[in-house]
Structure 1
Amino acid sequence: MHPNPAFRWPRSANDHNDADERAALESMIVNIGFGMIFAATPDGPRVAHVPVFSTGDGALQFHLSRGNALAKHITKKKALCVINGPDAYVSPDWYGVADQVPTWNYLTLELEGKVREMDRTGLIALLDDLTAQNEAKLAPKEPWHRDKMDEGKFRKMCDAIVGFEMKIQAWRPTAKLSQNKPDEARHKAADALDAIGRKAMGHMMREFGIK
């Protein structure tokens, strides 16, 4: 989390309550759907890159290969999940304001909590949830479902992975979107980002970079 309170979470003119902010965080998890799990092991800190699923009631689910360095050591321990949104380098020339410095704007969410291992039923439910959530984003494509594959092969593949659930104890979002700059300067920088193809960051700076 960035130490500057201005970057803790984006607020729009109509977004001033905890329920709205929590909904925005949940939406970020759904829309991005991929994160990094960090935890300590006897061999030192390790990270795994995984698809993630929010249960909507304060838990985050994911799965790891049994051979992953974290799989044997993460159960009953605290872990950190980082979910990254758009990011972009911002040139000081773009602001049209004197005495600025280069910076990097970004959106990210850190989730911290204790991890438990899921049973096989929970793992299969997670796989179904992840598939349904991501296949829905491909509409009007007909959704893929595991019924389309050989049941024995599916079971064999499940044997090679382990499902986990993190009970989220801390949500730490950062939205560094030039909120500390004058509105006109921020919009000029957003226009410049659009011009080089970084439209997602330009959009976020306009929509959410309100002080």
Structure 2
Amino acid sequence: MRHTPTYVVTDPHEIRRLIREHPWATIVSPTSRGMVASHYPMMLEERDDQISLVSHFGRPDDELHELGQHEVLVIIQGPHGYISSSWYPEGDNIPTWNHATAHLYGTPEILSEEENFRVLSELVDHFEHHVEHPVSLSDDEAGARHTAKGTVGLRIVIDRFDARVKMSQNKKTDVRDRIVDELSSNGTYASPELAAEMTRATPSETE
């Protein structure tokens, strides 16, 4: 990503928050046949000292990515949206795009069949607990285990990350407040989620 010191995020806790709130990830691999990208949900393992992700690939994506043979890039995309310059004071005519994005790097570890099924079960339970009548892989474990054979589980312990939270921190307080109001409205570019993320971001000390 472009090096923009104002928006750089180095706190692992913020990266973990972004992953928890936006678990749908893009995984990019530099394979022997060229670049390959896939999209899967990621679940964060709770480790104090490392950022560790677990997920699964549907076959044959594991072979296409040559999983376990090299480092991969995992892209987590949080709230993002267009910021109109019509929300700025007169004379400030350059619009922008606010976003929260993390690039995570690590080499996948292939999980055993049993650990893959455990991770799949936990992934389903993690998302199902929000619904009124949650289901579980244990409801039909034999059938679920048969389906799971079409997947390959993986763990990615993150070696390094590069993250940006660009939320108009370079603007004055009254301008940021106006942007948040516009994002919270029912206009074309409304985004309550982006508005909430803006309220979390720390303004630039150069303001």
TM-score tier by shorter-chain length is 0.7 to 0.9
| 1:61-140 map, 5 Å | 61-68=54-61, 71=64, 73-138=66-131
Unaligned runs of 5+ in 1: 10-17
| Equivalent position to 1:186, from 155, 170, 176 | 176
The corresponding residue for 1:35 is 25
Aligned-residue CA RMSD in angstroms? 1.9
CA–CA separation in structure 2 for the residues paired with 1:38 and 1:110: 10
CA–CA separation in structure 1 for the residues paired with 2:14 and 2:115: 26
Task: Give the superposition deviation at 1:71.
Answer: 4.8
The corresponding residue for 1:8 is 8
CA–CA separation in structure 1 for the residues paired with 2:141 and 2:92: 63
The corresponding residue for 1:148 is 139
CA–CA separation in structure 1 for the residues paired with 2:88 and 2:134: 45
Task: Give the superposition deviation at 1:103.
Answer: 0.9
Q: Which amino acid aligns with 1:91?
A: S
Using CA pairs under 8 Å that are at least 6 residues apart, name the structure with larger relative contact order, 1 or 2: 1
Change (3 A) 1:70 1:149: same
SS at match of 1:54: strand
Task: Report whether the alignment pairs 1:202 with 2:195.
Answer: yes
CA–CA separation in structure 1 for the residues paired with 2:195 and 2:59: 40
Identity of aligned residues (%): 22
Normalised TM-score (structure 2): 0.87
Q: Which runs of 4+ in 1 moved over 3 A?
A: 69-72
Unaligned runs of 5+ in 2: none
SS at match of 1:175: strand
Task: Give the superposition deviation at 1:23.
Answer: 2.6
Normalised TM-score (structure 1): 0.86
Q: Which amino acid aligns with 2:156?
A: M
CA–CA separation in structure 2 for the residues paired with 1:70 and 1:101: 45
